[in-house]
Amino acid sequence: MLAKINRIKKKKDFEIIFKKGIGFKNSLLALKVIKNNFGGNRFGFIVSQKVSKKAIVRNKVRRRLAEIIKVEFKNIKNGLNIVIISLPGIETKEFFEIRDALRKLLIKAGIINNS
């Protein structure tokens, strides 16, 4: 679980990111990024019912994404609000496939170093 200070929870924050943020996408995930005045990074995760009707499955996907971000946190540039949106099909993928897809998306967005 990410620290509370590193999470986006308010609807208003999500709306600002969706209106003004820059988007990136691959087959499993979509990403919206915007700079913040906070100094640190904040993350939000969206796993809709299009992914699965079952809350258990959606929560599993959300936990996996949060764990990947937690591991990659030190490599991510500072001062960003990032929303990660899961797309249908992610629920059938293994953890390592999701990790690779998210890393590639972060590199594509220029948020993380290629290491």
Architecture of domain 4-108: 2-Layer Sandwich (3.30)
The predicted pLDDT at position 39 comes to 81
* pLDDT exceeds cutoff 80 at 62: yes
Measured in Å, how far apart are the chain's first and last C-alpha atoms? Answer: 24
Q: What is the DSSP letter of 110?
A: T
What average pLDDT does the structure give for the chain? 93
**pTM exceeding 0.75:** yes
Please state the domain extents for the chain.
4-108
